[in-house]
Amino acid sequence: MKRMLKGLFPALLLLTLTCATAAAQERAQEMIARGNERYARGEYRSAVAEYERVTRAEGETYAQALYNIGVCRFELWQTEEAARAYRRAIEARGGRYPKASYALGVALEELKREPEAKAAYEQAAQSGYAPAHYKLGMLAARAGDEGRAAEYFREAIRRSKDKFPASHNNLGVMLARAGRLAEAEREFEAAVRQSDVPFEEAAGNLRLCRKLLAGPSQGGAASLKVASAADGFNR
């Protein structure tokens, strides 16, 4: 009998620990849910208070809470604090948290720290995060490297699991400036078609592109407009 009980004790201990861990995870998810409700109501400070109740012991949920804190700080115009929260979220997931790396890049861009922002986007892009490729395309376009920008916009489209009209538009601009007007026209058409709301920049670019295809036009491809994608981090 003693030998049977001796073998049973580790199994009972493991079951107890598993139940305790599951209960802790459930509580952490409840805190996240309460924080999300407050965030949805625009109560960012009270949302942060809920997220901060999640402890490091909760692992993945802890990283999620840190990311959510960063989003709230960003909404409160506390951009430095947001960047710190995103960095901590990335660290909590062992350096692989594409959404947080992307958000960090957005915050760093706003802080005018472009080299650091680019590094954050590159980290997110390594995991195939489509919006990060888009942002890298925007940085390349601003730097005048239109060929590289086109590659990033094309990759953003390829990696996206959904429609990406802004990337189609901007790829079209890069192609048109390279003299590839027929390809550019197709991208502008895709941008207009995919957008759920009127996409004036893309529609205007499409009209101008067709004029250029028909013959020389005043202003030429230099008049085409690059668009900034709307995302969850724009205020």
pLDDT confidence of residue 20: 43
For residue range 184-199, list pLDDT tens digits in order. Answer: 999 999 999 999 999 9
Polymer length in residues for the chain = 235
Of 94, 29, 25, 95, nearest in space to 68 by CA: 29
Q: Where are the domains of the chain?
A: 18-127, 130-235
Q: What one-character DSSP code corresponds to residue 229?
A: P
Domain spanning 18-127: CATH superfamily: Tetratricopeptide repeat domain (1.25.40.10)
CATH architecture of 130-235: Alpha Horseshoe (1.25)
For residue range 140-198, list pLDDT tens digits in order. Answer: 999 999 999 999 999 999 999 889 999 999 999 999 999 999 999 999 999 999 999 99
d(CA 134, CA 139): 9
pTM of the model: 0.84
- Residue 65, classified by CB atoms within 10 Å of its CB into exposed (0-12), middle (13-18) or buried (19+), is buried
d(CA 82, CA 35): 16
pLDDT confidence of residue 42: 97
